[in-house]
Chains A and B, each alone.
Chain A
Amino acid sequence: MRNPITQLTGQQGLTPVTTIIALLALASLYAIPCFVESPYALHIMILLFLSTIMGEGWNIIGGYAGQYSVGHAAYFGAGAYGTLILLNMKGIPPWYGVWAGIGAAVILSLIIGNICFRLRGPYFVLASIAVAEIVRLTVLNIPSITNGAEGILLSDLPPFKIGERVITDFISKVPFYYIGLTLAVFTILVTWLIQNSKLGYYFQAIREDQDAAHSLGINLNFYKNVALAISASLTSLAGAFYAIYVKFIDPTTVLPLDLSVQIVLIAIIGGIGTIFGPVIGALVLVPLSEALRSNVIAQSLINSGLVKEDSGMGVFLKEHLAHAHVLIYGILVVVVILFMPDGVLGFIKKLAARRKRGDA
């Protein structure tokens, strides 16, 4: 039953046709910067890639292994701070520094895992939040290393050279586009590999029923820690990428609870435990928050005549809707949990199954 839906959710292998379509899509994504010059368009794509990486990263521990960490900002921040601290203070270029960020995230995850994995369900969620807060507060309070509340501002990235040849100066957005795209494809590949391996089966068994999994020969502690370590490294990659792209980080942008919630949201909107769920989540969230931020929504409501520009509502919308994106996140979380707990993909699967039963 290899229909497009089961292939999207990654449960069945790809048919030759779908593989070709996927490769073509990938090729066109790589070709885009040759045709598209608008930095804003490239910026949106980069945000999409970033969100995909974050979502896919969380998906490993949250979607597949079923351990809902709401503290993933800790790993994102580890990647960001690890990379920038080494760059700013030791002059180590980010393509080496990122390994320190990943290393820090993995060590952090092993500590957190060993502390928190004995806790079930809601207690694990709480512990993950507490740990992320401890990380944020610690970073805030050791300014000698992290610059504390001031954050770290990066002036310029060193040029990337192979031998004597400069590949890129990182001046335009194009190199970031390619890095982002490659990292996103990488995380999707990692997810696909996991899903089609013993790891994937064991993670899902743990998610479905821990005690049953335990009795079937699965070492819960080991596998949960593996899932978290993989998840943490991917998330820290996102953090490192964010850091070199935006060139400014501080504890409120890379370590807050809001960010952890956003990461979870990306995964659950699309459908947790599926390969492309986080991609769909990114495709929903990024345009939405950009539309809000750039006043597109407010402006179009006014242009369509629904709201008068100089009316109280018009002024309100123009001034405030831009800041409303966290409010929208909150509303989305509520809507998804109430009506689509399995995300968009899960919803589609249910519709397809219902239609099949209707035909039969």
Chain B
Amino acid sequence: MALLEIKNVSKFFGGLAANADVSFAMEAGMIMGLIGPNGAGKTTLFNCITGYYPPSRGEVLFKGMKMNGLEPDRVCKLGMARTWQKVRPLAKMSVVDNVMVGALCRTNSLKKARELAMEQIRVVRLDHKIDFPAGGLTIGERKKLEVARVLATRPELLLLDEVMGGLNPAESDEIIRLILDIKKQGITQMVIEHDMKAIMRISDRIVVLNSGEKLAEGSPEEIVANPEVIAAYLGSD
């Protein structure tokens, strides 16, 4: 059984179809790249999947369960977690407290939560800043914090929204390594990204969205050679 099934998902805002009849499936353990030009509907799809708002049409099935209309906190507890395109650190709280908020999803004990949090902080290599207020971190550190925080919720499926946006090549490499490490832990990932090289490196499969519709789906090599995909990115003259 597929871990995640997106079946004919559409999302309308007034008359605009931000997502139109999108369907695909993900197997456990894989990394799916979600790409497309700006405004293609990638973040909208994430929002529909995680319950930020419900899809206007279609079904989202996670581990066979229908997720439409579930609140984001239920979605997280069931094992699906996401990061945000514009990072959302809990600014006045320290780094370790931020990650503990994630960990408290799975435990009621502060002590246990702190242990879980420190684990993830070590994974993303933010140990030197555990007591810093999250609002004072650099953009790269905030992205890593967001990943650590969301990992602390012990997701089975992790949705990363442009987690490399605004990072320099060294920081991007760190994130790529992080994503591959997460894969080794058995966590399934869907990654929205604009950095083509990164997507090619990490993805098992790629879905391309354009103007709300699914344009193409396939292996990285297939996608790169797909003339429609190329046209969508370069625009049709």
Partners in one complex: yes
A344 beta carbon closer than 8 Å to chain B: no
Given contact pairs A204-B92, A208-B93, A211-B88, A216 touches B110 in the complex (Cβ within 8 A)? no
Q: B83-114 toward A: CB 8 Å interface, digit per residue (1/0)?
A: 01000111111000100111011001010010
Q: List the A residue with the shortest CB-CB distance to B76.
A: A217
In the complex, which residues of chain B have a beta carbon less than 8 angstroms from the beta carbon of A273? 92
Q: Measured between alpha carbons, how far is A276 from B101 in the docked complex, in Å?
A: 23
B42 within 8 A of A: no
B93 lies within 8 A of A214 (CB): no
- State the CA gap A204–B209 with chains docked (Å): 37
> CB distance B91 to A211 under 8 Å?
no
| Interface pair B92/A208, CB less than 8 Å apart | yes
A215-B50, A215-B52 given; A202·B104 CB < 8 A: yes
Q: Chain A's interface: helix, strand, loop or mixed, by majority?
A: helix
Question: Out of A196, A201, A202, A214, which one reaches B72, CB within 8 Å?
Answer: A214
Contacts of A215 in B (CB 8 A): 50, 52, 72-73, 75-76, 81-82, 84
Closest to A196 in B: B110
Bound together, the chains give a CA A11 to CA B76 distance in angstroms of 28
Q: Given A215-B81, A217-B76: A197 and B149 within 8 A (CB)? A: no
| B102 closest partner in A (C-beta) | A216
In contact, B73 and A218 (Cβ under 8 angstroms) = yes
Contacts of A205 in B (CB 8 A): 90, 93, 101
Residue numbers in A under 8 Å from B108 (CB-CB): 198
B110 interface neighbour in A197, A208, A211, A212, Cβ under 8 Å? A197
Do B101 and A202 have beta carbons less than 8 Å apart?
yes
Q: Which of A1, A207, A217, A220 contacts B77 (CB 8 A)?
A: A217
Q: In the assembly, what is the distance between CA of A218 and CA of B106, in Å?
A: 11
B9 at the interface (CB under 8 A from A): no
Q: Is the CB of B93 within 8 A of A216?
A: no
Closest beta carbon of chain A to B201's beta carbon, Å: 27
Task: For residue A103, give the distance in angstroms from its CB to the closest CB of chain B.
Answer: 27
Determine the residue in chain A with the shortest Cβ distance to B80: A215
A98 to chain B, nearest CB (A): 31
Tell which of B50, B73, B89 touches A219, judged by Cβ atoms closer than 8 Å. B73
Given A196-B110, A198-B108, A204-B92, A213-B71 contact (CB < 8 Å): no
* Chain A: CB-nearest residue to B136: A353
Closest-CB distance, A114 to chain B (whole angstroms)? 15
Cβ < 8 Å to B, chain A residues 191-241: 196-198, 201-202, 204-205, 207-209, 211-220
- Taken together as a complex, chains A and B put the C-alpha atoms of A196 and B108 apart, in Å, by 12
The answer to whether A211 touches B101, judged by C-beta atoms less than 8 angstroms apart, is: no
Which residues on B sit within 8 Å (CB–CB) of A197? Answer: 110
A residues 236-272 touching B (CB-CB < 8 Å): none
User: Chain A: how many interface residues by the 8 Å CB criterion?
Assistant: 22
Determine whether B204 belongs to the interface, using a CB cutoff of 8 Å to chain A: no
CB distance from B213 to the nearest CB of A (A): 26
At the interface, yes or no: B10 with Cβ under 8 Å from chain A?
no
CA distance A212 to B146 in the complex (A): 10
Complexed CA–CA distance, A197 and B153 (Å): 18
Residues of A within 8 A of B153 (CB): 216-217
Among A204, A208, A219, A273, the most chain B Cβ lie within 10 Å of the Cβ of: A208
Q: B105 and A217: CB pair below 8 A?
A: yes
Residue on A nearest B159 in the bound complex, by CB:
A215
Q: How far is B150's CA from A86's CA once the two chains are assembled, in angstroms? A: 51
Contacts of B150 on A, CB cut-off 8 Å? 216
With both beta carbons as reference points, the residue of chain B lying nearest to A223 in the complex is identified as B73
* Inter-chain contacts of A201 with B (CB < 8 A): 97, 100-101, 104, 110, 113
List chain B residues, Cβ under 8 A from A1. Answer: 131
Give the CA-CA distance A211 to B51 in the complex, in Å: 11
Chain B, range 36-82, C-beta contacts under 8 Å to A: 50, 52, 71-73, 75-77, 81-82
Bound form: Cα–Cα A208–B71 in Å = 19
Decide if B88 touches A212 in the complex (CB within 8 Å).
yes
- On chain B, the residues within 8 Å of A209 by CB distance are 88-91
Q: A218 — which chain B residues lie within 8 A by C-beta? A: 73, 101, 105
A111 to B36, CA, bound (A): 46
- CA gap between A213 and B84 in the complex, in Å: 12
Interface pair A216/B101, CB less than 8 Å apart: yes
Residue from A1, A205, A217 having most chain B Cβ neighbours under 10 A = A217
Q: Are B71 and A214 in contact (CB under 8 A)?
A: yes
A196 to B75, CA, bound (A): 26
CB nearest neighbor in B for A212: B88
Cβ of A270 to closest chain B Cβ, rounded Å:
16
Could you tell me the distance in whole angstroms from the C-beta of A330 to the nearest C-beta in chain B?
27
24 CB < 8 A contacts A-B: A1-B131, A196-B110, A198-B110, A198-B113, A201-B113, A204-B92, A204-B97, A205-B90, A207-B92, A208-B91, A209-B88, A211-B52, A212-B84, A214-B71, A214-B72, A214-B73, A215-B52, A215-B73, A216-B76, A216-B81, A217-B76, A217-B104, A218-B101, A219-B73
Point out residues on B near A: beta carbons under 8 Å: 50, 52, 71-73, 75-77, 81-82, 84, 88-93, 97, 100-102, 104-105, 108, 110, 113, 131, 149-150, 153
Which residues in A have some Cβ–Cβ distance to B below 8 Å?
1, 196-198, 201-202, 204-205, 207-209, 211-220, 273
Extra inter-chain contacts (7) besides given A1-B131, A205-B101, A212-B88, CB under 8 Å = A198-B108, A205-B90, A208-B89, A208-B93, A214-B71, A215-B52, A215-B82
4 nearest A-B pairs in the assembled complex, by CB-CB distance: A217-B105, A208-B90, A217-B76, A212-B88
